[in-house]
């Protein structure tokens, strides 16, 4: 009787181990394809955000347009970002998609008789945060750190050192 119980336990354990390895193999089989697809989608998402950001930045300097025209153009630029998040919602992180959409929803507040500097600063901060989130979610930040550790590279120069100092001050002020 004891041999039968041990045999059954062995069979059950074998089935569980086989299922575990089968699932892992399936995940590995599709993970490369999914990673490449997500990377492409996030790359294009960053381009959409940069394009809309450029449009809104140009609008802040466009004195020949009325406030209503600026608001409409800003709305249309932001709408393209929101439409992109809707189109690729399956691949995009929901929180990042919401953040990016909300950044552009408030762009109308920037354009008044005079540029609302506080709304503009909030918009620019939202764009910076969005770019960092996208790099992190797409795995680029992790890859950068990996490549730095492998190559042991430390780019230098006055401009690079100045950039690092500003980045360090910004991180301290934000913390």
Query: Quick one: average pLDDT of 108-112?
Result: 89
Query: Quick one: average pLDDT of 126-150?
Result: 79
Query: Quick one: average pLDDT of 132-149?
Result: 74
Would you say residue 151 has pLDDT above 50?
yes
Alpha carbon distance 43, 112 (integer Å): 33
Q: Which residue has the higher pLDDT, 44 or 170?
A: 44
Percent of the chain beyond pLDDT 70? 85
pLDDT at 26: 62
Which residues, including other chains, have CB under 8 Å from residue 25's CB and lie 6 or more apart?
none
Question: DSSP labels for 32-71?
Answer: HHHHHHHHHHHHHHHHHHHHHHHHHHHHHH-TTS-HHHHH
pLDDT at 38: 87
Global pTM value: 0.69
Percent of the chain beyond pLDDT 90? 45
pLDDT at 149: 66
pLDDT at 175: 47
Q: What is the pLDDT of residues 24-76, one digit of tens each?
A: 666 566 677 888 888 899 999 999 999 999 999 999 988 899 999 999 999 99
């Amino acid at each position: 009787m004891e041999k039968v119980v041990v045999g059954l336990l062995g069979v059950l354990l074998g089935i569980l181990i086989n299922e575990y390895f089968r699932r892992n193999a399936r995940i590995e089989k599709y993970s490369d394809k999914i990673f490449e697809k997500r990377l492409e989608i996030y790359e294009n998402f960053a381009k959409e955000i940069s394009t809309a950001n450029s449009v809104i930045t140009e609008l802040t300097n466009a004195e020949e347009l009325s406030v209503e025209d600026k608001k409409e153009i800003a709305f249309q630029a932001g709408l393209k970002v929101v439409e992109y998040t809707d189109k690729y919602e399956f691949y995009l992180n929901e929180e990042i998609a919401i953040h990016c959409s909300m950044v552009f929803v408030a762009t109308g507040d920037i354009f008044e008789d005079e540029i609302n500097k506080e709304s503009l600063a909030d918009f620019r901060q939202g764009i910076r945060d969005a770019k960092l989130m996208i790099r992190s979610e797409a795995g680029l930040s992790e890859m950068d750190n990996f490549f730095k550790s492998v190559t042991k590279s430390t780019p230098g120069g006055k401009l690079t050192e100045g950039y690092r100092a500003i980045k360090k001050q910004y991180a301290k002020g934000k913390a």
